């Protein structure tokens, strides 16, 4: 039962208990959960508390409301370790998903300006942009910047659907030594929204990834724009890489 004396609000406690029941299979995928009135009686709380708890689980993607029918358990979104050692596309492949990587902007050497968060700001870097499709839908847009000396000649390689990490290791003998990532929620803007097939007022996950090599710090920088309506993106602590 819920504890009204606990510092955690009752609706959070109820949301956690309902989550546990969903994960235990007590409320299986596609099943209609009990009505607000029934849940209020079962947990000895008011209907506003139940409604708040259900709102939390709807926002998390665990439940969905169907007008005139009730509230149902959603198909669980798959968790993808996007930032694991094996990199982006490999993380989707490991889940047995159909993955296609499309090159949006071919690699080219360009001056980077007006981007203070980019370590190549006011410098020159190789740039490419690619879009990752999973099971027939675009889910990840990645803008990549490469150190011009470490990756000299990278424009000669076929990068459509290829692994950057494999090219770096096999041809440049490069492997990241350390790195960091910054996470934020942003709005994609019209161009990126079009590529990701979302509305431009829908927030998405933005990740800035910085990788250091023994030869230089920040030899690789990428900015990822991730749709979170289809997958839950996670990070494996201690792993660095790119794909």
pTM over 0.85: no
Paired tokens of 160: 């459509």
For position 136, what pLDDT does the model report?
86
pLDDT at 70: 93
- Element spanning 184, H or E: strand 178-186
Q: Report residue 197 as tokens.
A: 């097939």
CATH number for the domain harbouring residue 170: 3.40.1410.10
Residues 96 and 170 both lie in one domain: yes
Question: Which pLDDT belongs to residue 241?
Answer: 42
Number of structural domains found in the chain: 2
Q: How far apart are CA 205 and CA 197, in angstroms?
A: 15
Contact 40, 49 (CB under 8 A): yes
Q: Do 95 and 39 share a structural domain?
A: no
pLDDT of residue 43: 93
Q: What is the pLDDT of residue 98?
A: 80
* pLDDT tens string 90-109: 666 666 778 788 899 889 99
pLDDT number for residue 105? 84
Residues of the chain scoring pLDDT < 50: 80-86, 237-243
Tell me, yes or no, whether 153 lies in a domain.
Answer: yes
Lookup result for tokens 């201690």: 238
Q: What is the DSSP string of 114-159?
A: S-TTSTTTTEEEEEEEEEEEETTEEEEEEEEEE-TTTTTTGGGS--
The number of angstroms, rounded, from the C-alpha of 148 to the middle of its chain's C-alpha atoms is 28
Question: What is the pLDDT at residue 237?
Answer: 46
Q: What is the CATH number of the domain that holds 65?
A: 1.10.10.10
Distance, in Å, from the CA atom of 225 to the CA atom of 186, rounded to the nearest integer, reads 9
Cα atoms in the 13 Å half-sphere on the side-chain side of 80: 26
Boundaries of domain holding 20: 10-73
């Amino acid at each position: 039962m819920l504890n009204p004396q606990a510092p955690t609000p009752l609706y959070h406690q109820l949301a956690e208990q309902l989550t546990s029941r969903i994960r235990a299979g007590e409320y299986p995928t596609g099943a209609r959960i009990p009505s607000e009135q029934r849940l209020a009686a079962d947990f000895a709380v008011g209907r506003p508390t139940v409604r708040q708890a259900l709102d939390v689980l709807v926002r998390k993607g665990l439940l969905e409301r169907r007008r005139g029918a009730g509230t149902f358990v959603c198909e669980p979104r798959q968790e993808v370790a996007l930032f694991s050692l094996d990199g982006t596309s490999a993380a989707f492949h490991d889940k047995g998903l159909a993955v296609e990587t499309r090159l949006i902007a071919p690699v080219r050497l360009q001056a980077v300006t007006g981007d203070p968060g980019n370590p190549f700001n006011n410098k020159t870097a190789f740039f490419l942009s690619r879009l990752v499709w999973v099971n027939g839908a675009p889910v990840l847009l990645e803008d990549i910047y490469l150190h011009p000396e470490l990756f000299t000649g990278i424009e000669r390689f076929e990068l459509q659907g290829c692994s950057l990490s494999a090219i770096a290791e096999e041809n440049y003998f490069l492997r990241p030594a350390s790195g960091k990532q910054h996470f934020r929620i942003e709005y994609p803007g019209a161009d990126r929204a079009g590529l990701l097939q979302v509305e431009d007022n829908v927030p998405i996950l933005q990740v800035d990834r910085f990788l250091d090599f023994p030869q230089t710090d920040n030899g690789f920088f990428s900015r990822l724009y991730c749709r979170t309506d289809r997958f839950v993106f996670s990070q494996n602590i201690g792993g660095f890489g790119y794909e």
